[in-house]
């Protein structure tokens, strides 16, 4: 059995896209390293070396060997940062969480264990019993809840919160199906929809999401809703083979990236 905090044999890779968080990232990292009991690596991904988060991360990493800073070379934006981080994860499970502190890091271990038990996507759900969203724009919350509830009940995707970014993934599954999103935070919905079309298992646990208290949100609802809608529609449909899925998801990506 690995030591509780053995950075050479992580059971989970925590991927955090960050954009000019600066000192705001410190309490988020503190809570993650305090909460995660499984052997882990934490990969914070920025888009450029001049990002204000970089010097803060360098100072933090001097005392915390489990922390690694990655400079994304796939293109700017959270989708590319998440893709880059998962591609460099060294463990069988990758958990994506945000740098704004809105997610509950105490649930990273539980999400990881669900993937270890066999699901390919484990979601932290704001809309299942016991879950809650505290704060944030009202319209964004209504759209997200409507999409998540309808996908869960009608699309039977395995979670009532397919749009939440706070999820754990089997890295083998991600590398099998690929990530086609190139902008926004629609990766969580994309991979959930792909799992549904392949009839792979998805599970959820309830979570309480808290709106960020420092810094600015980078969520551009007007620009990203059309991209979410394409993946939403994709979730409804018959079972596909991996080859069929790749063809259809590539078409969606081409539309989203125009």
Bridge partner residues of 41 (DSSP) = 13
pLDDT for the residue 68? 98
Is the confidence at residue 4, as pLDDT, over 60? no
CATH assignment of the domain containing 49: 3.90.550.10
Q: What global pTM score does this model have?
A: 0.90
pLDDT for the residue 253? 86
Q: How confident is the model at residue 213 (pLDDT cuts 50, 70, 90)?
A: low
CA distance 168 to 195: 13
CB 72 within 8 A of CB 182: no
6 occurs within a structural domain: no
120 occurs within a structural domain: yes
Q: Is 64 left (phi over 0), alpha (psi -120 to 50) or beta?
A: beta
CB 190 within 8 A of CB 179: yes
pLDDT digits 0-9 by tens, 151-169? 877 889 999 999 999 999 9
CA distance 9 to 156: 35
By C-alpha distance, which of 160, 167, 180 is closest to 245? 180
Bridge partner residues of 205 (DSSP) = 124
2 occurs within a structural domain: no
45 occurs within a structural domain: yes
Question: How confident is the prediction for the chain on average, in pLDDT?
Answer: 90
Q: How many domains does the chain have?
A: 1
Is the confidence at residue 24, as pLDDT, over 60? yes
115 occurs within a structural domain: yes
Q: Is 77 left (phi over 0), alpha (psi -120 to 50) or beta?
A: left
CB 123 within 8 A of CB 203: yes
Beta strands in the chain (DSSP E): 12-17, 40-46, 67-71, 93-96, 121-125, 132-134, 167-170, 202-206, 208-210
pLDDT for the residue 183? 80
Q: Which domain holds residue 122?
A: 12-256
The pairing of strands 132-134 and 67-71 is: unpaired
5 occurs within a structural domain: no
* Alpha-carbon 169 to chain mean position: 8
26 occurs within a structural domain: yes
For residue 206, give the 3-state DSSP assignment.
Answer: strand
Q: What is the CA radius of gyration of the chain?
A: 17
7 occurs within a structural domain: no
By C-alpha distance, which of 150, 160, 40 is closest to 91? 40
């Amino acid at each position: 059995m690995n030591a509780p905090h053995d950075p050479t044999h992580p059971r989970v890779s925590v991927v955090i896209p960050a954009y000019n968080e600066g000192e705001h990232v410190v309490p988020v990292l503190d809570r993650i390293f305090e909460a995660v009991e499984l052997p882990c690596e934490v990969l914070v991904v920025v888009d450029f070396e001049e990002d204000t988060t970089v010097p803060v991360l360098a100072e933090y990493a001097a005392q915390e060997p489990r922390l690694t800073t990655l400079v994304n070379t796939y293109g700017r934006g959270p989708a590319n940062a998440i893709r880059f981080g998962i591609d460099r994860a060294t463990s069988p499970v990758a958990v994506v969480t945000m740098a704004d502190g809105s997610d509950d890091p105490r649930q990273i271990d539980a999400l990881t264990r669900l993937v270890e038990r066999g699901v390919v996507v484990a979601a932290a759900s704001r809309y299942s019993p016991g879950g809650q969203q505290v704060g944030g724009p009202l319209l964004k919350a209504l759209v997200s809840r409507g999409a998540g509830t309808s996908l869960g009940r009608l699309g039977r995707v395995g979670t009532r919160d397919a749009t939440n970014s706070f999820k754990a993934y089997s890295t083998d599954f991600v590398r099998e199906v690929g990530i086609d999103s190139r902008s926004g935070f629609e990766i969580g919905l994309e991979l959930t929809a792909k799992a549904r079309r392949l009839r792979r298992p998805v599970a959820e646990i309830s979570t309480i999401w808290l709106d960020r208290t420092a810094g600015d949100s980078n969520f551009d609802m007007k620009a990203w809703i059309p991209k979410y809608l394409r993946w939403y529609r994709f979730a409804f449909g018959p079972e596909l083979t991996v080859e069929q899925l790749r063809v259809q998801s590539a078409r969606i990506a081409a539309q989203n990236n125009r």
